[in-house]
Amino acid sequence: MSGPLLLSIESSCDETGIALIEDGRRIVANVVASQVALHAATGGIVPEVAARAHLRWIVPVLDEAWAGAGVGWSDVDAVAVTYGPGLAGSLLVGINFAKALAWVHDKPLIGVNHLEGHVYAAWLADPGTDPERPIFPLVALVVSGGHTFLVEMRDHLEYRLLGATVDDAAGEAFDKVGRLLGLGYPGGPAIQRAAEAADGIDVPFPRAWLGDSYDFSFSGLKTAARRIVDTVRADEGLPADDPEAVLSDAAVARLARGFQGSVVDVLATKTIRAAEACGARSVVLGGGVAANGALRSRLADEAAERGLPLIVPRPGLCTDNGAMIGAAGARRFEAGERSGLDLDARPSLPLARR
Q: How far is the CB of 77 from ligand KG4 (least distance, A)?
A: 26
Stretch that binds ligand KG4, among 74-82, 183-191, 251-259, 301-309 (CB under 6 A): 183-191
Binding flag, residue 188, ligand KG4 (CB under 6 A): yes
* Residues 150 and 274: beta-carbon distance below 8 Å: yes
Among 15, 22, 152, 320, binds Zn ion (CB under 5 A): 320
Q: Which is nearer to ligand KG4, 101 or 198 (by Cβ)? A: 198
DSSP class per residue in 312-323 = ---HHHHSS-SH
Instruction: Name the residue type at position 347.
Output: P
**Coil, strand, or helix at residue 117?**
helix
**Coil, strand, or helix at residue 341?**
coil
292 Rama sector, left if φ>0, alpha if ψ -120 to 50, beta otherwise: beta
Binding flag, residue 288, ligand KG4 (CB under 6 A): yes
How many alpha carbons fall within 13 Å on the CB side of residue 274?
Answer: 29
- Give the pairing type, strands 15-22 and 26-34: antiparallel
Instruction: Name the residue type at position 89.
Output: G
d(CA 119, CA 157): 10
Among 16, 144, 148, 262, binds Zn ion (CB under 5 A): 144
Stretch that binds ligand KG4, among 31-39, 60-68, 148-156, 182-190 (CB under 6 A): 182-190
Binding flag, residue 261, ligand KG4 (CB under 6 A): no
Residues 191-210 that bind ligand KG4 (CB under 6 A): 192
Strand partners, 216: 165
Q: Which is nearer to ligand KG4, 229 or 291 (by Cβ)? A: 291
* Residues 29 and 38: beta-carbon distance below 8 Å: no
Residues 119-158 that bind ligand KG4 (CB under 6 A): 144-146
d(CA 221, CA 228): 10
Q: How far is the CB of 103 from ligand KG4 (least distance, A)?
A: 28
d(CA 59, CA 18): 10
Among 6, 13, 162, 343, binds ligand KG4 (CB under 6 A): 13
Choose from ligand KG4, Zn ion, none: what does 8 bind? Cβ within 5-8 Å by kind. none
Binding flag, residue 319, ligand KG4 (CB under 6 A): yes
The 8-class DSSP code of residue 82 comes to: E
Q: Which is nearer to Zn ion, 181 or 317 (by Cβ)? A: 317
d(CA 317, CA 260): 21
Stretch that binds Zn ion, among 231-239, 250-258, 313-321, 335-343 (CB under 5 A): 313-321
Q: How far is the CB of 161 from ligand KG4 (least distance, A)?
A: 17
* Alpha-carbon distances, residue 325 vs 64, 106, 224, 313 (angstroms): 18, 20, 36, 14
Q: Which is nearer to ligand KG4, 17 or 24 (by Cβ)? A: 17
Q: Which residues bind ligand KG4 (CB under 6 A)?
A: 13, 144-146, 171, 174-175, 186-189, 192, 287-289, 291-292, 319-320
Q: Which residues bind Zn ion (CB under 5 A)?
A: 144, 320
